[in-house]
Structure 1
Amino acid sequence: MKELIHEYAQGYELLRASIDGLSEEQMRFRPAPGKWSIHEIIVHVTDSEIVGLHRFKKVLAEDRPLLTAFDQDKWAAQLRYHELDAGQYLLLFKFLRESFLPVLSRLTEDDWQRVGIHSEAGPMTFAQLLQKYVDHIRDHLRQIERVKAAMS
């Protein structure tokens, strides 16, 4: 589990590095109608992290809690991600990840096997849930690279 925690801890630096040197115009570039800009991806990743921390804490503190899904596209549209400050959201992402590392470092083997019930994916152990959030950042890093490539 140490490797998983390490990957989780690297999320902010990987995100920050992926947007380093981009102008505001580049951050707001949409590769196609209906597709997210890098700006919107950063806000989404942070909102997802907020939801994730809530899910993590529920799984660790409650017995088989329900972990509800959310409609990411509706959040992006209704919350007007394009109007929010991506820089603030990136820092918030950093602080959210850093704030949870002490909890992760103290988990027992039993904690890693605790289960939550995701409203779409079904039962998930804490380890599976954390892996999902590590993979989520990887997926969006690839998406950011695709958006950057579309700018050329």
Structure 2
Amino acid sequence: MNLEELKYPVGKFIKSESISKEVIDSAIFEIENFPNVVKAEIQNLDEQDLKLRYRPDGWTITQVVHHCADSHINSYMRFKLALTENVPTIKPYEESLWAELPDNQLSPLVSLQLLEALHTRWVYLLKTLLEEDLNKEFIHPEQSERISLRENILIYGWHCQHHLAHIRQAKELKFE
């Protein structure tokens, strides 16, 4: 495997021109099930296993789980901002620096508990969105682009699969 395949085991996110209800429902299903699937993947891992990396110089399994909690909290807040404000500009964050903060030394089970509660609220919100809600947007200043909530649901369905693949890859390839 080359570095690009190790970084993106499910491929990079590809923006779709048209997004059907079935595609949205499938992405919401991925988001809804993500905490349970992650739990199944990590629950029997010991401390050494949790330090395995999905690629050389990549994050450990623990860091991946903590990153997902950080990222998904940010995404949930972006949904709420877009639903309550007129095309807000969101605040990006330095995910690589967040991954080095001391709270990333905690057990990944702490972030798993956070993901379970967060995803319960997030999925409930997603399933109640109306068509006009899905068209609401926020501005991501790093790309200077408007992202609709419809598209952001797909981004995070992909994000779940992307990092789940990282966890599985770390377990299989055992980079230290």
TM superposition score normalised by structure 2: 0.78
Question: Structure 1 vs Structure 2: percent identity of aligned residues?
Answer: 26
Letter matched to residue 168 of structure 2: E
Q: Which residue pairs with 1:93 in the alignment? A: 115
User: Runs (4+) of structure 1 moved beyond 4 Å?
Assistant: none
Q: 1:20, 1:50 → 2: CA distance? A: 22
8 Å contact kept, 2:41–2:167: yes
2:48 alignment partner, SS class: helix
Contact 1:40 1:81 in 2 (8 A): no
Q: Does 1:57 align with 2:80?
A: yes
Corresponding residue for residue 112 of structure 1: 134
CA distance in structure 2 between the partners assigned to 1:72 and 1:125 by the alignment = 22
Please give the per-residue CA displacement for 1:110-148, whole angstroms capped at 9, x wherever unaligned.
000111111123111001112111111111111112211
Q: Is residue 2 from structure 1 mapped to residue 25 from structure 2 by the alignment?
A: yes
For structure 2, the 5+ residue unaligned runs are 1-23
1:125 is aligned to 148
The match for 2:19 is none
Cα distance in 2, alignment partners of residues 6 and 139 from structure 1 = 15
* Cα distance in 1 between the residues matched to 2:30 and 2:170: 23
CA distance in 2, matches of 1:31, 1:63: 39
Question: Given the alignment, which residue of 110, 127, 134 partners 2:157?
Answer: 134
SS of match in other structure, 1:51: helix
Q: Which amino acid aligns with 2:59?
A: W
Distance 1:38 1:45, change over 3 A: same
8 Å Cα contact 1:69-1:120 kept in structure 2: yes
Contact 1:67/1:119 (8 A) holds in 2: yes
Structure 2 equivalent of residue 26 of structure 1: 49
The amino acid across from 1:13 in the alignment is: N
C-alpha RMSD of matched pairs (Å) = 1.8
Deviations 1:28-57 (CA, angstroms, capped at 9, x unpaired): 224666321101110110011111111110
What residue number does 1:148 align with? 171
Q: What's the secondary structure of 1:66's corresponding residue?
A: coil
SS in 1 for 2:139: strand
Which blocks of at least 5 consecutive residues in structure 1 are unaligned? none
TM alignment of 1:63-102, pairs within 5 A = 63-77=86-100, 79-102=101-124
Distance 1:30 1:12 in 2: 20
How many angstroms does 1:89 deviate by? 0.7
**Contact 1:29–1:37 (8 Å) recurs in 2:** yes
